[in-house]
Structure 1
Amino acid sequence: MTFLIPRLPARALLGLCALVLSGCATVAQPDPRDPFESYNRGMTSFNEQVDAMVLKPVATAYQEAVPSPVRTGVRNFFANLGDVWSFVNNVLQFKPEGAASSFMRVNVNTFFGLGGVLDVASELGIERHKQDFGLTLGHWGVPTGPYLVLPVLGPSTVRDTVALPVDMRGNVVRHVDPVSSRNSLYALGAVDARANLLRASRVLDDAALDKYSFTRDVFLQVRSQTGDTRRDDPAADDGVLPPEPEPAR
């Protein structure tokens, strides 16, 4: 997401490109689920450098500067917007319980939760049934396909990559006007999403394991599930970061 990345020196950009290329050495025996492992490891290294140089410092500063109740409100706000798209996908999957819960969550949190800042629905016991278009394709028999790491966006699969343009269009933020407000929401959502992952990234950094393999295995396990994904914690999001905003007109 280039709106979060300042102008980097040419030497830094060349260094990042070199990391991607150096990570593309052929893997002798790639995992059958990960035939693109050589490319994926190189792209993972690139993403980690972008994260270390830009995303993580901004997210850390956000976490330190913004009080926890405010961050919770921001997280609830974006989770409420996500429930709108979950409602659509629950309908597409013919899941009346999930669709009804998502519909009720959006209405309760929007009207009684100050536009979604307060998660009143969870307090009332209305469960979150999180869905996206990739899971909808999976519900109708489309396999996940090989593991694929996208630039900046991170872990994905071929199926989820194909579904990504539809998920982007389903993002309520995309329909916000003016463009300046839309871009601000994209930026805030990206920073908040990264801040919610700071603790998990510290655990991975401290653990004596192959972070790439661990992340891939967990991600594929989650995305291979085509059943109901109930989650009450909006921070437990396996979706992608918000898409790149449009330039102001």
Structure 2
Amino acid sequence: MGYSVDLNSDLGEGFGAWTLGDDDAMLELVTSANIACGFHAGDPTTLLATCESAATRGVRIGAQVGYRDLAGFGRRFIDMSPKDLTADVIYQIGALDGLARVAGSRVTYVKPHGALYNAIVHHRRQARAVVAAVVAYDSSLPVLGLPGSVFLEEAREAGLDVVAEAFADRAYTAEGTLVPRTESGAVLNDPALVAERVRRMVVDGELDAVDGSTLKITAESVCVHGDSPAAVDMAAAIRDLLESSDVEITPFT
């Protein structure tokens, strides 16, 4: 039986004189790039350069939309009205899509970032607001999200294509959600451990939660965070192990 999976990473997260991660190295390894849209990270020059690098390599570009929270890197929940959130998400998709088109590509999917991603696992009003923004901008755009989230539920009901995402370098609770970054062991950095974990996700459809229980999981796309210190090594180890296990690494779009 053949297996395939998309490999994605959060990129374009530098700002001005500050560089975060090795985007060019990651773009040699991933098939989809979740590029920041200026609200949680990324300035226009950085974002255009990242879009150009992705386009040159044939990597798909996704709009990574988030709360307007540069100081907190988009990792702080903001209790905002659905109307405001919808407008913010439309604004972000449109801005990145403009840069992507100038670079010779375009935005081909949408993925929420950080606190927004985690909030809309359960926060239905905000989930609906994000879905409304994607539908309003371009209803052909797929969305990435956590399996079992109300976000993917609302997206399906609105007629959007949904992509079930798993995380290579994040620990999971027994409920199938991500362990908060504030807790010990939430972020994984061992390339060999992470690669085997991803192989098991894709081939066996399971992984171990922090309490030792086994979770059943669907992984159509797997994320390696570009800001992790060992991001490039982890992505390379994942590619090597998956390819040696006859798993095709290919974009979902």
TM-score normalised over the length of structure 1? 0.28
Greater helix proportion:
1
Higher strand share: 2
